[in-house]
Amino acid sequence: MGVYLDYQATSPMPESVLEVYVSALAGVGNPSSIHQAGQRQRALVEEARERIARVVGCEPIEIVFTSGGTEAINTALKGAVWAAQRLRGRDTPTTLVSTRAEHHATLDALEWLDEHEGTEIAWVPVDSEGVMDLDSLEVIVHDHPATLVTTLLANNEVGSLQPVAEIARISAEAGVPVHVDAVAALGYVPLSFSDLQVAAMSISAHKVGGPVGVGALVLSRHAPEFTALVHGGDQQRVRAGTLDAPGALAFAEAVELRERLRLDSVSVLQQRRDDLLGHLTSAVPDIVVRGSLDARLPGNLHITVPGCEGDVLLYLLDQEGIQVSTGSACQAGIPEPSHVVLAMGLDEATARGALRFSVGYHTSADDIATVASIFPQVVERARGAGMAAGH
């Protein structure tokens, strides 16, 4: 695999999680069936709920299993709008409050709601570190009859932690529920849904070494009613469909393992990240770290490299066996600047030079040394290639 430094995109599945997953896949029975085989599968699902709930600080009944973080986010956003329309009429004005620095799962869902449901999107600015501006939020939620506020717990690109407690307090004072995208934060920072005092929270299994295609929407028992995104049965609150017992169980195993690693090794993870930063800045002094230096994910290192295209850096590093991310979207083969960096107030040339290293709990000192030895020559070659706009 070379040196894998893209843990925020997905994490490798540990052997212990794989064993649990494969063993559970051998089982038979629909968890909604009332015969013994079905009830054994149902027991696995309920066990998974309890185990995940203990880690994320919620009640088991509040966990709604989904196909991943994207479905969970879409369920929260679209479900809130549709519920408001069902309650007060199809022509009821709806407003969702968010920032332009969110994950595309949120941004694309907001765009869809704007286009298809006429939902107004009230944009809260972020500061130069990608953190939501609380003064602006307060003005917006008090001036708009908002349906929902949605925010990241930690920015998936630049790693900045958001002031969710304050966001929740300000929103609650205006009578507006809050959804939190905690996909990037799970397994890296302490997480307690009940302490956050929000209505809903999205998480995903593969980010913590679980299976792809499994996630959850944590939906408070006291939250306003959301309309389901998927219909076809009453298997769960706000979601229909046969429950994936093996996936849920593997998710629980992965979450517990990652929580143990967080408690035991988060300082080592942060030190590896800081060592990498020290090596890179020593070799290429003009790189700039983006995002908060004080309140950020412990394994996240997001930089911009002047005079370089992030995509070129990514390809050159990949040729050397080093996997990282740019965080930018690519439409029809044309590189686009990072929307997060643009939202932070930087220009397109700077945003196109974005590169994200995400260190994992199993990243070694040798891995860091390998990247440090290769990075200067990669930057030199990338600068020789020039920028896409000809600069």
SS3 of 384, please?
helix
Residues that are catalytic: 330
**Burial status of residue 17 (CB atoms within 10 A of its CB: 0-12, 13-18, 19 or more):** buried
DSSP 361: T
Q: Are 226 and 219 in contact (CB under 8 A)?
A: yes
- C-alpha distances in angstroms, 173 versus 81, 139, 372? 20, 12, 48
Cα-Cα-Cα-Cα torsion 166, 219, 24, 30, nearest 10 degrees, comes to: -170
Residue that is written with structure tokens 């309890």 in the block:
50
Q: Which structure tokens are listed for 220? A: 């408070």
SS3 of 152, please?
strand
Distance CA 218, CA 179 (A): 9
Distance CA 182, CA 69 (A): 9
- C-alpha distances in angstroms, 114 versus 94, 97, 110, 224? 10, 12, 6, 21
Residue that is written with structure tokens 């994910």 in the block:
297
Q: Are 8 and 300 in contact (CB under 8 A)?
A: yes
**Burial status of residue 107 (CB atoms within 10 A of its CB: 0-12, 13-18, 19 or more):** middle
The alpha carbon of 207 is separated from its chain's Cα centroid by a whole number of angstroms, namely 8
* Residue 97 phi, psi (nearest 5): -115, 130
Nearest to 353 by CA among 370, 341, 368: 341
